[in-house]
A and B are shown apart, each in its own frame.
Chain A
Amino acid sequence: MDKKQINLTIDGNKISVPADFTVMQAADAAGIHIPRLCYHPKLSAVGACRICIVEIEGAKNYSASCITAVSEGMNVKTNSPEIREARRDLVELILDNHPRECQICEKNNNCELQELALTLGIEEYEFPGERKRFAADYSSASIVRDPDKCILCGKCVRVCSEIQGVNVLSVSARGYKANVGPAYDMNMSESVCINCGQCTLFCPTAALTEKDGIKETFKNLNDKEKVCIVQIAPAVRVAIGEAFGFTPGTDKTYETVTALRMLGFKVVFDTQFSADLTIIEEGHEFIKRLTTGGKLPMFTSCSPGWIKYLETFHPEFIENVSTCKSPQQMMGALIKTFYAKKMGLDPAKIYSVSIMPCTAKKYECARPEMNSSGFRDVDVVLTTRELAKMIKQAGIKYKELKKGQFDQPLGESTGAAPIFGVTGGVMEAALRTAYEVITKKELPSIDFKVVRGLTGIKEATVDVAGTKVNVAVVFGLANVHKVLTEIKEGKRNYHFVEVMTCPGGCIGGGGQIYPQGDIEAMDKELYSLRAEGLYSIDEKKKIRKSHENPLITKIYEEFLIKPLGEVSHKLLHTHYHHKCPKGIPSGLRDTVSIG
């Protein structure tokens, strides 16, 4: 409170702000919005786009307010005719070097550049001239990079480096040749990219977007030979409504089931069933490691970006990661074996689709390990955004849909499953089961609130029958690098660690609906609403522990026999290998959190 305050005037308003504020922060505090493009509150400010320029009395030039510190007696104008004109010129210069194809652009109506041109009142292309031309890179299973649409704001470079510690992107060359991409102008697929797709959430234009799976899906839905089976992940159901005007966090599970049937899917399963299954397998694996002197800490394995990160940046920890496949891949394997056999379907004719909040899942389903059914276990992954687009393309009136029901026997889930979609959820679900399996007693309180919340690194110690189990919950790979480094140094000591690649867990996944309006990625309120949506699905369920799911019990009786058994080993578990080129991780500074 007694921090030094600075007095300044912005647009005639006298205000007082902490001494470490920038002019932009001071204006925000005063309720004055300065237009901006390359600035993001969670990333370092670099002043690259110059859109946030202001006039400061006595200064020779206009100053970028995002990187100008406040000083005593400063007199700032953010909205003079000259400033507005200069800002328009800057945006016009960007527009001149940008493709004019808004109507057929992925980001139409979700584009910060488009929005900026509109709000600044730009009415014509002022500077016609040469335009840069690059080839788009479609090599990655998850991300399409189209440098023609890049405006060199560098948000992707910063999110990749500062939030994810992956550092795959940088700005190379200069002038017309300047572009953002991996080192040595490599393809994304050859680079150290871990496919998380956070860059697609932070990109203000459509220079970075997800790889399309819609065309292939529609083609297969129209193929009479194929049986299209779909599964849907927890975090999708609390975000997809946003694309149709619902408040973030609104539970649209059953309306989405109806939409999927209308799109032509014969069978609709719930990834939450296989989330429960993951808990059984992973819980038993943890208990086995804990009681038989196995490799600890054990890391969760459901986030495919994290798995690729592990293989590329920290292969020394490969043995620590759970051998369990992700819920998506478990479901995929069961559909083409257990379900196919049960229903007398030819697995070769099953087209298995999964709807995920994630771009890395597109990469995961194409991994060579993921074909234990004898076929590719999951044929295509669609992001939440892509499903919303398909629903719109099919002319389905989403707002008016009635609730549908999942198909069985792979559609029933407990309250432990939806929370997989939010940071801390897998840990909480695992603890609910592990505690009861070890102690054979009922949990005194089902909610492990200590592992909840949007902090980047959370720790807790849980007493399980006299054994103190140290757990940690981490999201964002820069945070993960910090945790792994400190584990190696002996500064952190855990038994079990939940790792989620994306900020906030899957609710903040790279495939989620683009934040609408003025809201940006990693917005605290947006992510809190989505998280609350999942916790409320959990609370409403009668059964809230994975091992009490009656259909899970049944599938073990009928097919899997026992956790970590032979069938599980073949279908539900896998191993990972280190990857080249090896990445150089970063992230030893402050913990990255949301809010």
Chain B
Amino acid sequence: MNKCTCAPELKEKETAANLKELKEHIKHLKPLYDKQGALMGVLHKVQDIFGYIPREAMDLVSEELEVPTAHIYGMATFYNFFSLKPRAKYQIFMCKGTACYVAGGARILEKLREELKLKPGEVTEDGLFGLGITRCLGCCGLSPVMQVNEEIFVRMVPEKVPGILEKFKKLEKKGK
């Protein structure tokens, strides 16, 4: 779905460090769950650490949890939350659930497309922003709702969009 290849590739060193972190996490989890039962949680952790679910991580999970790669791949590709391709640093999800849609979610999405020059499913050239659509986030009372990584923006109006994007751009500059 996402043909973009410009998202930043993970450096080898970073991958190694991430895999090490994942291994530690599984070691800690193992005594608490049966192998199949732990899989879902572990995949969340993979997405957390890497920003997506790379094959190396699935191989490691398979080895550590002794769950066949076919099962892991089946689960990772079933849920929309999991991405098998590198995601943007700031992944934006606009809610198109019923309540948000009725409250004008489509206009926010239109504004996001305009500002970022992206279609849903794409990532900006610098890898900073990705645009996606999601179904209900469970806060319909505050609709329309937009999510950027872990942060939720409520009662959205198109005018709020540039400011929010600016905020993350600044954050990025500071980080550097």
Contact = CB atoms under 8 A, between A and B. Distances in A.
A584 B62 contact: yes
A355 B72 CA distance: 38
A586 interface: yes
Contact of B68 (A171, A172, A174, A584): A584
A194 to B, nearest CB: 13
A167 B78 contact: no
Interface residues of A, number: 17
Nearest to B84: A184
Nearest to A191: B70
A583 B78 contact: no
A302 interface: no
Interface string B55-75: 100110011001111111110
Interface string A149-188: 0000000000001000001111111100000001110000
Contact of B69 (A161, A173, A174, A184): A184
A176 to B, nearest CB: 12
Contact of B67 (A172, A173, A174, A584): A584
Contacts of B149: none
A183 B78 contact: no
Contacts of A583: 68
B77 A182 contact: no
Contacts of B69: 183-184, 581, 584
Interface in B55-107: 55, 58-59, 62-63, 66-74, 77-78
| Residue among A169, A172, A184 with the highest chain B CB neighbour number at 10 A | A184
B73 A184 contact: yes
A172 B74 CA distance: 4
Contacts of B58: 183-184
Given A584-B68, A586-B68, A184 B55 contact: yes
B67 A170 contact: no
A167 B70 contact: yes
B153 to A, nearest CB: 28
The dominant DSSP class at the B interface is helix
Interface in A568-593: 581, 583-584, 586
| Residue among A170, A173, A182 with the highest chain B CB neighbour number at 10 A | A170
Contacts, number: 44
Contacts of B63: 584
A172 B73 contact: yes
Contacts of B74: 170-172
Nearest to B72: A183
Nearest to A166: B68
A565 B67 CA distance: 44
A171 B66 CA distance: 19
A117 B58 CA distance: 40
A379 B30 CA distance: 49
B55 A170 contact: no
A138 to B, nearest CB: 20
Interface string A14-31: 000000000000000000
Interface in B21-58: 55, 58
Contacts of A586: 68
Contacts of B71: 167, 170
Nearest to B68: A167
A184 B76 CA distance: 10
Contact of A182 (B59, B62, B70): B70
Contact of B70 (A170, A173, A174): A170
| Residue among B59, B62, B74 with the highest chain A CB neighbour number at 10 A | B74
A211 B134 CA distance: 43
Nearest to B66: A584
B18 to A, nearest CB: 19
Interface string A529-569: 00000000000000000000000000000000000000000
Contacts of B78: 171-174
A161 B69 CA distance: 12
Nearest to B62: A584
Contacts of B55: 184
B73 to A, nearest CB: 4
Contacts of B77: 172-174
Nearest to A582: B63
A183 B74 CA distance: 7
B118 to A, nearest CB: 22
| Residue among B55, B68, B72, B74 with the highest chain A CB neighbour number at 10 A | B68
A180 to B, nearest CB: 9
A114 B78 CA distance: 29
B35 to A, nearest CB: 10
A158 to B, nearest CB: 12
A199 to B, nearest CB: 13
Interface in A294-316: none
Nearest to A168: B70
30 contacts: A167-B68, A167-B70, A167-B71, A168-B68, A168-B70, A169-B70, A170-B68, A170-B70, A170-B71, A170-B73, A171-B74, A171-B78, A172-B74, A172-B77, A172-B78, A173-B77, A182-B70, A183-B69, A183-B70, A184-B55, A184-B58, A184-B69, A192-B68, A581-B59, A583-B68, A584-B62, A584-B66, A584-B67, A584-B69, A586-B68
Interface of B: 55, 58-59, 62-63, 66-74, 77-78
Interface of A: 161, 167-174, 182-184, 192, 581, 583-584, 586
9 residue pairs, one from A and one from B, having the closest CB atoms: A167-B68, A170-B74, A183-B69, A170-B70, A183-B73, A172-B77, A584-B68, A183-B70, A173-B77
Given A170-B70, A183-B58, 6 more contacts: A169-B70, A174-B77, A183-B69, A583-B68, A584-B63, A586-B68
